[in-house]
Amino acid sequence: MTTSLLSPLVALPASLENNPLLTFGRGIAAYSEVKPEHIAPAIGFLLKYAQDAVDTATHPETPSSWEKLVEPLEDATEALDRSWGAISHLNNVADTPELRAAFGQMLPEYTAFRSNLGQNLALYQKFKALKNSPQFAELNRAQQKVIENSLRDFRLGGAELSDAEKPRFSVIQDEQASLGKKFSEHVLDATDCFVHTITDKADLAGLPEDILAAAADTAQQKGLQGWAFTLHFPSYYPVMQYSENRELRRLMYQAYVTRSSELGPQYGEGKLDWDNTHNMLDQLRLRDEEARMLGFANYAALSLAPKMANSVDEVDLFLTNFAIKSKPFAQKDYQELCEFAKAELGFTEGLEPWDIPFASERLKQTRYAFSENELKQYFPLPKVLDGLFRVIQTLFGVKIESANLPTWHADVQSFAVKDLAGKIRAYFYLDPYARPGKRGGAWMDDARGRRELANGEIQIPVAYLVCNFAPPVTVDGILRQPTITHDDVITLFHESGHGLHHLLTQVSALGVSGINGVEWDAVELPSQFMENFCWEWEVLEKMSAHAQTGKPLPRELFEKMLAAKNFQNGLATLRQVVMSLTDWRLHSSFDTKSAKGQSVLEVSRNIADEYGIIPQPEISRWINSFSHIFAGGYAAGYYSYKWAEVLSADVYSAFEEAAKLTGSVLDAKTGARYREEILEVGGSRPAAESFKAFRGREPSIDALLRHGGMA
Ligand SMILES: [Zn+2]
């Protein structure tokens, strides 16, 4: 079937009739047919088509109605986004120099179109007119939410500012972008410039062979003798964990925590130009000014507009409460560590910050040693997939069957999600293995969203699940079964949780169906929720089969995994909470006007002193490399990691409660409620309402504390 993507709205010119980026219709893209030379003509055409739709929508005679305004605009922008999405997906999973160049060539135009759309005042007026029209009340909840979200985004983009204020507003945006970029460049440069070389192997006692091999490799690449260590995490952290050389650990630690500060040159060979002290203050001032221009008391309040949390105080209280509850457990962890270090490692005068990961790793080995490699033998990928599908099918009343969609690589599998009557509700792809030309990490992305078309037909959703597991190997001419680590199993469940959120939606308005329009701090709920099943014996037992013997995971090994899971979790939790609180206070109660010099550092110090456990050394300038909040889009948002964990743990505890009655966490009744109240509604109603509808009450921190061994 080769209906045009735009059919029946517009006819394609003859020159584009065979362009696969335009001919996949409302169906599935033929990824293997897409060539770099298809990109510019297709995207050029679709940009023009979308711009025409914008022009029509903003024409004075176009009525502000759902059918005349929102729908045609959605048709055109969806066509553009889907083609663009297919290309950027290929760029991520099947990169070639030619594809990258063609993608890069169109990127500025695409980005410019998107940002102009968000600042189009005429369009803003049209949406406002629709909101104020009698039709608004007749629209369904999801449609109303699409319009409200658009108006909100226009406002946050400065649409309601006066003409006198607008130039300043855009200067603020530009300066923020450039300061953020500089911040991360400074961190990168300060991280890159430091190298510490060791030539006597005796100084490297304790480091595992693979770490030594990597260090020798680094030295060779840099034209140095011996072993070289850098401040990049995969080089830095193993030294902190394993090196018995305390002096080496101290040296690396001091270089690490003084990056991009005035102390950088002293401890890390950095430059004064890379000092972020003033950059941080400048950014905080600009954010504060932006918030006030838009009518908010501070930046934290502004950042909450598209989030689930309701108020600045609510988040502050959430974090301080969390800190208070986790502090005794952190204290216990720390004490235990100090005692162990004294008795077993000879640290009679206490632990310095550079001793903590080392002592911690030794304690872990002593208590919970098991071989990761042995564990891995129990998780062949096909068996894990069966286990995952069993969980999904049991809980959510669907069937997952292999499909035969066209893909971009022979390793990629595709599946259909069917309801019990056999009707297809969604499709997804699984691209499991690492390979050249594929970006690292794991992610879920949407290929297509659920939507009711103008002719009343339902377009069903499609998602990509992408992982980077070790590919299967051939030994003595025989292809071995691919096995994955337990961490990989958790990753797969996590991404499938995002996938289910997108695929099981029943919402018909594209802007809020599936993962679209879900609040920023609630997006990780369905993904983290799924991770819990990877720690259930009833799930693991059926999901494991030793690659050689076929036997399931021994119960004894499972108990060890479980015991190791929460090792030193009190300390880890408190650390995250203190970082979140620092971010939050800097964006809410910090007075940027009277602040000067080291004020940002002082705020972080005070919070650490009040809530933390491990004293920060005088020279620590960790905040100067806190890229999440000064260069990564997590400004006033770092709390969301913990926020979503609380939600997902609390949701999961409903399944644990059901298990007390039924004997199984795979309880179909609770699963059906979760599907209806959380997954199916997507972004069509506030996450707080969805949570409450499922749980029957406000979120509580208790389940997360209990799961983390802090109860
Ligand atoms: Zn995620």
- pLDDT at position 29 is 86
Give 627 Cα–ligand 1 centroid separation in angstroms: 19
- pLDDT at position 2 is 41
- pLDDT at position 569 is 95
Give 644 Cα–ligand 1 centroid separation in angstroms: 10
Question: What are the residue ranges in the chain where pLDDT is below 50?
Answer: 1-3, 8-9
Listing DSSP states for 33-91 in one string gives: G--HHHHHHHHHHHHHHHHHHHHHHHSTTS--SIIIIIHHHHHHHHHHHHHHHHHHHHH
CA dist list (Å): 55 to 76, 80, 158, 296, 654: 12, 16, 21, 33, 50
Look at strands 462-469 and 424-433 and give their pairing.
parallel
- pLDDT at position 470 is 87
Residue 434 and residue 468 in contact, taking contact as beta carbons nearer than 8 Å: yes
The amino acid that residue 189 corresponds to is D
**Interatomic CA distance for residues 10 and 533, integer angstroms:** 48
**Interatomic CA distance for residues 332 and 631, integer angstroms:** 34
Write out the H or E segment, with its range, that includes residue 485. Answer: none
**Interatomic CA distance for residues 427 and 416, integer angstroms:** 4
Residue 290 annotated in active site: no
Write out the H or E segment, with its range, that includes residue 364. Answer: helix 356-368
Give 180 Cα–ligand 1 centroid separation in angstroms: 24
Give 288 Cα–ligand 1 centroid separation in angstroms: 29
Give 497 Cα–ligand 1 centroid separation in angstroms: 8
- pLDDT at position 5 is 56
What is the 3-class SS of 601-650, one letter each residue?
HHHHHHHHHHHCCCCCCCCCCHHHHCHHHHCCCCCCCCCHHHHHHHHHHH
Residue 610: how many other CB atoms lie within 10 Å? 11
Residue 658 and residue 667 in contact, taking contact as beta carbons nearer than 8 Å: yes
- DSSP single-letter state for residue 469: E
Whole-model pTM: value is 0.91
| pLDDT tens, position by position, 151-184 | 999 999 999 999 999 999 999 999 999 999 999 9
Which residue of the set 71, 74, 78, 495 is catalytic?
495
**Interatomic CA distance for residues 305 and 156, integer angstroms:** 9
- Structure token digits, residue 225: 């003798």
- DSSP single-letter state for residue 439: -
Write out the H or E segment, with its range, that includes residue 394. Answer: helix 381-396
Give 311 Cα–ligand 1 centroid separation in angstroms: 24
